Amino acid sequence: MRTGSSEGPHRERARLDRALVGGLAYTGATKWLGQLLSWGSTLVVARLLSPADFGLVAMASIYFGLVTLVNEFGLAAAVVTRHDLTDDQIAQLNTLSVLMGLAALAVSCGVAAPLADFFGAPSLRWVVVTMSLAFVITAFQTVPAALMQRDLEFRSLALLEGCQALVMAGSMVLLAELGAGYWALVLSNVAGSAVLAALVLAKRAHRFSRPRFGELRGALSFSTDIVVGRLAWYAQTNADSLVVGRVLGQAALGAYTIGLTLASVPMDKIAAVTSKVAPGVLSAVKADAAALRRYLFMLTEALALITVPLAWGVALLADDIVLLLLGETWRGAAAPLQLLAILASLRPGASLLPQILNVTGRSGAVMVNSVLSAVVLPAGFVFGSQWGTVGIAAAWLVLYPFMVLPMYWLVLRSIEMSPGHYLSAMWPAVSASLVMVAAVEACRSFVDPAWDLPLRVSLAVAAGAGAYGVVLLTAYRERLRGISRFLQGVRSHASVVENSAP
């Protein structure tokens, strides 16, 4: 029988493992369900509204995309990460969140008319004002939702966000059917925010307290690092499109945007799931280097097994994918797609690095790295633009590794993990993907180019997937069994530990 002193760590480890796996499953399912609902409802509404209606809301979204980054001032990240916050400090942050939401609404009301004048769209004024109501609504649930995330209540959060997605999609279609025009897009967004806030508050409301900034100095310093890092991230991730549009023109921007979307959306969705779940788990073990090493290795291995073959496959078949999905007109998207797909295979694993640095008290390093990247990458895009969209995509591929290497160095050093050990987590996916590439090339060399494009693509995908699966099942069977045992044992291990408690 285990002693009481050993039961505690085992029980806690089992609880965190179960929260991580369950959180990834529920959050992932909800994210993809929400995306499917969004795509489906948009396709339905697109038949009922005009391009001008969508364009009007898109104008407002340019403004909201930036304001949303700073609206909650990183308060949610501070609540999730800083377990030393007292109940009263959390109450003060709750009040501060609402005040910031009100401030964002006031600012939006002030800039609504100038924005409408800038775009030459008088109706944009009231669209901006109405959509800004979501800033206040969301402010009420920022801290309660962060508390749920910190306490690993991922299943509840996922279900609540699923309800939000249903309300947004349903209300959008209903309002469009009733002839609301562009207000269907605007009001469905506000309705979704209101429903999520109401559900979160019903599940986990928290009291308010007058903010005393002297007591919140540590939390606000952390949140400032987060906000500055987000703004720098926004700058670097939008600079490429800005340079393409300004230097190369509208047609080049369209092709580049399509290539970027095809290359990054699947990877971004996967990374978004981990960024929603991982901080709560990592912050719970931030003082345990061994636990951090374990979760970094496990998540990197799992992400690599999914993203590396998918990204390399897209890069390998970029020409055929573009022709199959979009047609000959979009052939210019294929070249940047190839390079951006390779880049995408590097990003999901790297997305874990700032999360670990944030929970271990190095948010300042994340901020500095983001600001540096926001300076270096745009300069690279300008230089690369002389070779067109391929040059800009190549600038991403060349410069990004240099931007992320310092983050790897800080993380691996702080958790006492050797580079060789970390790279071994990626080796099964990389080595199997190399064989996959060879199999696809061999298949394409034997396939008659006169065959229909869908058939040729299907055969190449089948050959690559088959080769990838065979390598994993033969060369890395034990690694796969280890992952399977972990997934199967999460619940049973937790149950055993709990049942053994007196």
The reply to whether 50 falls in a domain is yes
* Residue 191, pLDDT score: 93
* Residue 181, pLDDT score: 85
Q: Which residues contact 158 (CB under 8 A, 6 or more apart)?
A: 23, 26, 27, 29, 30
> Alpha-carbon distance 363 to 224, whole Å?
9
> Alpha-carbon distance 160 to 200, whole Å?
7
Per-residue pLDDT of the chain (502 residues; tens, 9 = 90+): 444 444 556 666 666 666 666 666 667 677 767 767 776 776 677 678 776 777 777 777 767 777 877 777 778 878 887 777 888 988 989 999 899 899 989 999 998 899 888 877 788 889 889 989 998 999 999 899 988 888 878 788 888 888 888 898 899 889 988 988 889 888 998 999 999 999 999 988 889 988 888 888 877 787 787 778 878 887 887 788 778 877 887 677 777 877 877 787 767 777 777 777 777 777 777 788 888 888 888 888 888 888 899 999 999 998 888 888 777 877 888 888 899 999 888 876 788 888 888 888 887 888 888 899 989 999 999 999 999 989 999 999 999 999 999 999 999 998 889 999 999 999 999 999 999 999 999 998 888 888 888 899 999 999 999 999 999 999 988 888 777 766 654 444 444 333 433 3
Whether residue 318 contacts residue 341, with contact meaning beta carbons closer than 8 Å, is answered with yes
One-letter amino acid for residue 217 of the chain:
R
Whether residue 196 contacts residue 159, with contact meaning beta carbons closer than 8 Å, is answered with no
The reply to whether 229 falls in a domain is no
If we measure between CA atoms, which residue out of 72, 78, 77 comes closest to residue 95? Answer: 72
> Alpha-carbon distance 226 to 201, whole Å?
25
> Position of tokens 């240099």?
402
The reply to whether 207 falls in a domain is yes
Burial 461-478 (b: 16+ CB within 10 A, else e): bebbeebbeebbeeebee
> Alpha-carbon distance 164 to 142, whole Å?
15
Domain hosting residue 157, numbered range? 1-215
> Alpha-carbon distance 153 to 18, whole Å?
11
In sequence order, what DSSP letters do the residues of 55-90 get, joined into one string?
HHHHHHHHHHHHHHHHHTTTHHHHHHH-TT--HHHH
Three-class SS state of 445: helix
- pTM equals 0.72
Q: Distance between terminal CA atoms of the chain?
A: 11
> Position of tokens 């609206």?
71
> Alpha-carbon distance 12 to 9, whole Å?
5
* Residue 85, pLDDT score: 82
The reply to whether 96 falls in a domain is yes
Instruction: Count the neighbouring beta carbons within 10 Å of the beta carbon of residue 379.
Output: 13
* Residue 399, pLDDT score: 94
Q: Which residues contact 408 (CB under 8 A, 6 or more apart)?
A: 350, 353, 419, 422
* Residue 23, pLDDT score: 64
Q: Tell me how many domains the chain contains.
A: 1
Whether residue 125 contacts residue 59, with contact meaning beta carbons closer than 8 Å, is answered with no
* Residue 230, pLDDT score: 78
Query: Where does residue 50 rank: exposed (0-12), middle (13-18), buried (19+ CB within 10 A)?
Result: exposed
The reply to whether 382 falls in a domain is no
> Position of tokens 């874990």?
352
The reply to whether 65 falls in a domain is yes
The reply to whether 275 falls in a domain is no
Whether residue 193 contacts residue 134, with contact meaning beta carbons closer than 8 Å, is answered with yes
Q: Which residues contact 315 (CB under 8 A, 6 or more apart)?
A: 337, 338, 339, 341, 342
Sign of CA dihedral 211, 217, 222, 226: positive
If we measure between CA atoms, which residue out of 450, 473, 481, 445 comes closest to residue 460? Answer: 445
**Helix-then-strand count for the chain, H and E:** 19, 0
> Position of tokens 């540096």?
372
The reply to whether 105 falls in a domain is yes
* Residue 494, pLDDT score: 41
